[in-house]
Amino acid sequence: MGDRQVGEKFNAFEDIEEPEDLRPVRRAATWRDVLGSLAGLLLLIGFHAAQAGRWTALDSRPPGAAAAAQLEAAWDLKTAMGNGRFGRAAAPPLYHLSLRPALGRADPVHGAVWVNQGYLALLALGLWGLGRHFLGPWEGLGAAVLFTCTPAVAGLTHEALPDLALAAWTACAFWAFAASDGLRNKLPSVLFGALFGAAMLTQWTAPAFFLPMLVPAVSALNRGGAGGVLGALVAAAVVAGPWYAARLPLLVS
């Protein structure tokens, strides 16, 4: 008798339908969430600026060999541009161009720290945008905080190196790519192409970070998204094409 009652109790659960999706329902982000997370992003950027001010006040070391080479390249580019030889720069020139305000300071090394703060802010924005696109604005803020506050990233802000700039352009390009729905939406696709061009003008190695985009780009071509792909290519060519075209004779020779 007891076994029969227990069996009936277990059988009662057989009529309960299991939900198809056990994941928790995510609350839709509101404008209050977006604005609040952006305010947090501004506080994060302000925190990093305060840290940079403290660093430049205390640091008295000479630049490392790699950073000194980048500053020298920036000086060479400034001289070459004065002589109308912009395309003869030895490396992609965007980071060196951004160092020009630092070259006019009494201490170019510390001037480069403030240039890097601009790239750090751009990186934080790109991380926030990626997080907001896939999860939500507060998650995006968390990603920006966690990544930009790591010692490795903080160390990059202290040196005149293009690595942080490349990371910033790449993060923003990934955000634009995500917003383009695999290059199917034209305006974000054009923005992605422009940001890719900026990355190309920052370091030779930039294309390696964008190789995974080839798969969705080909998929977009097969699904009638040729307009987005073409827009991205044109934007990248407009941004990076002139310098590479001027550099082509040197690359061939």
The pLDDT tens digits of the residues spanning 40-88 come to 999 999 999 999 999 999 988 888 899 999 999 898 888 877 666 665 5
Which CA distances in Å does 190 have to 85, 119, 127, 194, 235?
Answer: 29, 21, 19, 6, 6
Cβ-contact 203, 243 below 8 angstroms: no
The domains of the chain are located at 31-56+65-252
Report the chain's mean pLDDT, rounded to a whole number: 87
Predicted local distance difference test score (pLDDT) of residue 2: 52
> Any idea of the CA torsion for 98, 86, 191, 129, to the nearest 10 degrees?
-20
- Band of the pLDDT at 140, cuts 50, 70, 90? very high
The pTM assigned to this predicted structure is 0.86
The answer, yes or no, to whether residue 11 has pLDDT greater than 90, is no
